[in-house]
Amino acid sequence: MTSSSLRAAVIGGGPAGLMAAEVLAGEGVAVDLFDAMPSVGRKFLLAGRGGLNLTHSEAPESFLSRYGERAGALREAITAFGGQEVRRWAAGLGIETFVGTSARVFPTDMKAAPLLRAWLHRLRGAGVRLHTRHRWQGWDSASGELVFEAPSGRVTHAAQATVLALGGASWPRLGSDGAWVPLLAARGVAIAPLQPANCGFDVAPTRADRSGWSEHLRQRYAGQPVKPVAARLESQAPGESQQGEFVLTDTGIEGSLVYAFSHPLREAIAREGRATWIIDLLPQHSPERVLAEIRHPRGPRSLSTHLKSRLGIAGLKMALLHELLSPEQLHDPERLAAALKALPLQLVRPRPIEEAISTAGGVRLEALDAGGMLRALPGVFCAGEMLDWEAPTGGYLLTACFATGRVAGQGAARWLRAQGRSA
């Protein structure tokens, strides 16, 4: 069997699937790429709407640590195709990048569309055939061929190797709906339950007669950011806080600082029914400074005017104090100072998975060999967000999708050649 006679199917037109297709085509494999949506890369384009965060520029070991307990399993893939490699790859498409103040990496024009256009042009030039509006339905029971629901009806496709890059279950309207789970589970593939990651959380009732935030707080402040703040888990010391900002929602909180804690918050809620998130409303001030300013004589001024004058506490921050503290706490200098530096917020549930930025759970990494092939299904490879790993926003999600797509493409090409030699 020669290289030109090798054929592979890639199912899923997101970053992982496109990368697998690029690698396979570069190895001389004929590639057909299928996607359920009218066009590929829809979630990729949405992610770039506010500025495409391609990757991150931090040191490799720190970068890897963002994948938590899966860092070891992803080490080889991300070491081979990490932040610097992503930047060089983008440059090869004619897309220059820069490092922002947060060490995140963006295209110079901040847009996803030019990169996707250049990438698709390269893939078509390499012979990759794109088939949109083809929703994967599994395998034909008689022939073993791939089955798709297409505009023309049921169609089948024979492939010598298949790369699945079907995403998780967040943003189902863009194609990532988790419909692949029962198809693989029925074939004996080990799958961890899909859960929301990089998601918002609902707060516990702040009064016995309420559910969540008060009507006043919702109507006046929902959608507004709380900044600057620092936050930590209840189990962490103050020195372990992370700085950033979050947004008040109708039911709780969301935003980049919340997403950074989504995994441990979700785990704590699963174990104990709720999680406590500790917020420092004045990260620039020491506890001693805060207490001294509160104790400063205020004369006839109200507490709100005093806090605004001495510490800059106003608006939403002041509203949160009224929402979460009792009148006795508000008028006790020591307890108020402690709350300003460590305001406890009780969270009771993550928001639904379809609202999440990404998904935790999926095909267990132990179900794959080193080349990304399913041990239960020889010739079938998996990549991207459908795998059981998670990471915070900041370029880590895209980088791991690129890296695992590359592994799956390389693994499929090697497997095809090995099959050819043994034929």
Mean pLDDT of 116-145: 97
What is the tens place of the pLDDT at every residue in 335-380? 999 999 999 999 999 999 999 999 999 999 999 999 999 999 999 9
Average pLDDT, the chain: 94
Domains annotated for the chain, with CATH where assigned, are 3-197+358-422 (3.50.50.60), 201-350 (no CATH)
| Single-letter amino acid code for the residue at 285 | H
For the cut 50, the answer to whether the pLDDT of residue 404 exceeds it is yes
pTM score above 0.85: yes
Residue 3 has pLDDT above 60, yes or no: no
Q: What is the pLDDT of residues 267-280, one digit of tens each?
A: 999 999 999 999 99
Pairing mode, if any, of strands 30-34 and 7-11?
A: parallel
Give the per-residue pLDDT at 208: 54
What tokens does 94 get?
Answer: 């004619």
Q: How does residue 161 score in pLDDT terms, banded at 50, 70 and 90? A: very high
Q: What integer is the mean pLDDT of 252-278?
A: 96
Per residue, what are the HEC states of 41-59? CHHHHHHCCCCCCCEECCC
d(CA 354, CA 403): 25
With bands split at pLDDT 50, 70 and 90, how would you rate the model's confidence at 2?
A: very low
Q: Helix (H, G, I), strand (E, B), or coil: what is residue 209? A: coil
Chain segment 77-95, per-residue pLDDT in tens: 999 999 999 999 999 999 9
List 11's β-bridge partners, or say none.
34, 164
Buried b (16+ CB within 10 A) or exposed e, 329-361: ebeeeeebbebbbbbebbbbbbbebeebbbbbb
Place 48 in a pLDDT band, splitting at 50, 70 and 90.
Answer: confident
